[in-house]
Amino acid sequence: MKVNPKRNFWIRKKVLVTGGNGFLGSHLVGNLKNLGADVFAPGSKDFDLRVRKNCREIVKNQEIVIHLAAKVGGIGFNREHAGEMYFDNIMMGAMLMEEARLAQVKKFVALGTICAYPKFTPVPFKEEKLWDGYPEETNAPYGLAKKMLLIQSQAYRQQYGFNSIFLLPVNLYGPGDNFDPASSHVIPALIKKVFDAKKNRENAITVWGTGRPTREFLYVKDAARGIILAGEKYDKSEPVNLGAGFEISIKKLAEKICNISGFKGKIIWDKSKPDGQPRRMLDTTKATKEFSFSASTSFDAGLGKTVAWYMKHVIND
């Protein structure tokens, strides 16, 4: 059963959402406003969070900080921008949490990443396995930078009694995703690739890797609801997974997108390119137990809505 956030918790709460103009952020900000929160979602052009004085400025008078802002991208982007992925993400998180503490913010919600898990984590990934090995190499700079938010969160709770929590979302997808091939994740990248092939009347698409790795995907609206529920109900230092509790191979994913999109051509697998982590699927037991979260959107339904959004807003614009 889907559990929804409570309006009486959020009414007139002053909430800062970093990355609030992004893919997940735009859904989250809309939900928070509907619940009556007073939301501040500054843009990265106005407030570069790698600059400490900007972090100090935006946390003033805020009650809750939800830190979504991050430099993100797919495997290719991570390989080409490894230094930036580490530096930008670790600096944003470290300075923002410190300034939130100094400003006596009541709660800090930090978003980590499934890329923080070890490369060969047993499936389903349990939060207790987070430190049992090194992350998959192509994602390690990003994954470890975000993982440091957990260390900071726990250290600040221990020394200062600062109420910060750490959530580990799986790969997100849905309407409004990033379809830029230079930085997009697998679902939007495949959707664009398929529709580009249709437009150019090509009879095949080329996809990185072997198609064998598995991934789990969480619909963006479910993710936003999970973050809000955690903001209401969860006040502990242990990390919590946010996911949908299933896995699908990249091969089957590509086939699904081709079917939904009406593409009849071949899928060619470029095995010279990396696969990334072999398998990904989260154990979502803790999120259900601690703040009554479970995903409510089926993957087929969510994928259909994502393709429909792309056709309407990207192709027909």
- Identify the CA nearest to 91 among candidates 70, 113, 73, 61: 70
Query: Catalytic annotation on 234?
Result: no
In whole angstroms, give the CA distance from residue 217 to residue 49.
28
| Residue 275, annotated as binding a ligand | yes
| Residue 21, annotated as binding a ligand | yes
| Residue 106, annotated as binding a ligand | no
Quote the crossing angle between the two packed helices 220-233 and 23-34, to the nearest 10°: 50
| Residue 22, annotated as binding a ligand | yes
Q: What is the dihedral of CA 308, 309, 310, 312, to 10 degrees?
A: 90
| Residue 176, annotated as binding a ligand | no
The residue written with tokens 């939060």 in the block is: 127
Q: Is 204 exposed, middle or buried (0-12, 13-18, 19+ CB in 10 A)?
A: exposed
| Residue 23, annotated as binding a ligand | yes
- The radius of gyration computed from the CA coordinates of the chain, to the nearest angstrom, equals 19
Among candidate residues 142, 156, 219, 234, the one labeled active-site is 142
| Residue 146, annotated as binding a ligand | yes
Determine how β-strand 248-249 pairs with β-strand 214-215.
antiparallel
| Residue 253, annotated as binding a ligand | no
The number of CA neighbours under 13 Å toward the Cβ of 257 is 30
| Residue 199, annotated as binding a ligand | no
| Residue 162, annotated as binding a ligand | no
Give one DSSP letter per residue of 47-106, joined into a string. Answer: --TTSHHHHHHHTTT-SEEEE-------HHHHHHTHHHHHHHHHHHHHHHHHHHHHTT-S
| Residue 20, annotated as binding a ligand | yes
| Residue 10, annotated as binding a ligand | no
Contact 202, 265 (CB under 8 A): yes
Residue 312: how many CB atoms within 10 A of its CB?
A: 11
| Residue 161, annotated as binding a ligand | no
Catalytic amino acids?
A: 142
Annotated binding site for NADP(+): 19-25, 146, 169-172, 185
Query: Binding site, residues?
Result: 19-25, 146, 169-172, 185, 193, 208, 215, 275
Q: Binding site for substrate: what residues are annotated?
A: 193, 208, 215, 275
